[in-house]
C-alpha cells in the first residue's frame, strides 16, 4: 500500500509530526502528519488523503482522512479512516512493536499483520501471507510470532472496547 499518499506533506507548524515505520524486509518509511492530541504514552495524529489509495480490497478516496492512534504500552497502532463527508470507512490495526513517542516524531516496528474492521465491525485479517513469509525467512522470530498471534486475538476479541476507549477528535 502507498502510505505516502496519505501524508499531509504541507503541514508546517508546531503541530507538525513525523511518523517513522520500521519494517522487517524493506527500508524505513517516513510520513508527515499533524498532531491532534498527546498524553504521556498516547498520541493521536491526523493524515489527509491527497490521492486515492487501496488497502488490499478497500478503496480510500482522495479527500478522506485518517486519525492514527499510537500507544507506547500497546502492541498495535489504530487508524480510523473517514471519507470526505466524515463518515467512517473503517478501522485498520497494525500489529507492531517498539513504539516510541518523541517531541515531534513517533516510530514503531511494523510486524506485518494488519486487521481491517468495516463500520459494522466485520473483521478482515490482512497480510497473513507476509507474516508467514517473514517467519520462513527468519525475519520474525518465534517470540515475535507469538506476539503477533496474541495481539491478533486480543484485537479481534476486544475491538469494540478498544474503539470506545480512543480519544475522539470531535471533542
Q: Is residue 170 part of a domain?
A: no
How many folded domains does the chain comprise? 1
Dihedral angle sign, alpha carbons of residues 70, 146, 151, 135:
positive
Q: Which residues have C-beta within 8 Å of that of residue 127, sequence separation ≥ 6? A: 112, 113, 114
**Residue 106 belongs to a domain:** yes
Q: Is residue 72 part of a domain?
A: yes
pLDDT along the chain (171 residues), means of 10: 36 73 92 92 90 78 88 96 90 96 95 95 94 96 97 97 87 47
pTM of the model: 0.87
Residue 171 maps to a domain: no
Whose cell is 513525523? That residue is: 18
pLDDT at 61: 78
Residue 20: give the domain boundaries.
3-165
Question: Residue 157's domain is classified under what CATH number?
Answer: 2.40.380.10
Q: What is the pLDDT of residue 108?
A: 97
Q: Is 20 exposed, middle or buried (0-12, 13-18, 19+ CB in 10 A)?
A: middle
Give the residue among 7, 49, 155, 28 at the shortest CA–CA distance from 92: 155
Query: Is 12 a member of any domain?
Result: yes
Amino acid at each position: 500500500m502507498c502510505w505516502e499518499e496519505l501524508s499531509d506533506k504541507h503541514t508546517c507548524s508546531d503541530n507538525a509530526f513525523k511518523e517513522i515505520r520500521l519494517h522487517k524486509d524493506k527500508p524505513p518509511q517516513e510520513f508527515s502528519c499533524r498532531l491532534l492530541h498527546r498524553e504521556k504514552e498516547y498520541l493521536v495524529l491526523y493524515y489527509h488523503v491527497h490521492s486515492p489509495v487501496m488497502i488490499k480490497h478497500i478503496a480510500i478516496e482522495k479527500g478522506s482522512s485518517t486519525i492514527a492512534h499510537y500507544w507506547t504500552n500497546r502492541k498495535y497502532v489504530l487508524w480510523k479512516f473517514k471519507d470526505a463527508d466524515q463518515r467512517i470507512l473503517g478501522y485498520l490495526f497494525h500489529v507492531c512493536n517498539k513504539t516510541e513517542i518523541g517531541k515531534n516524531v513517533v516510530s514503531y516496528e511494523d510486524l506485518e499483520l494488519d486487521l481491517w474492521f468495516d463500520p459494522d465491525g466485520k473483521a478482515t485479517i490482512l497480510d497473513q501471507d507476509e507474516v508467514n513469509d517473514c517467519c520462513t525467512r527468519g525475519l520474525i522470530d518465534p517470540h515475535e510470532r507469538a506476539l503477533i498471534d496474541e495481539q491478533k486475538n486480543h484485537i479481534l476479541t476486544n475491538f469494540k472496547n478498544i474503539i470506545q476507549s480512543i480519544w475522539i477528535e470531535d471533542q
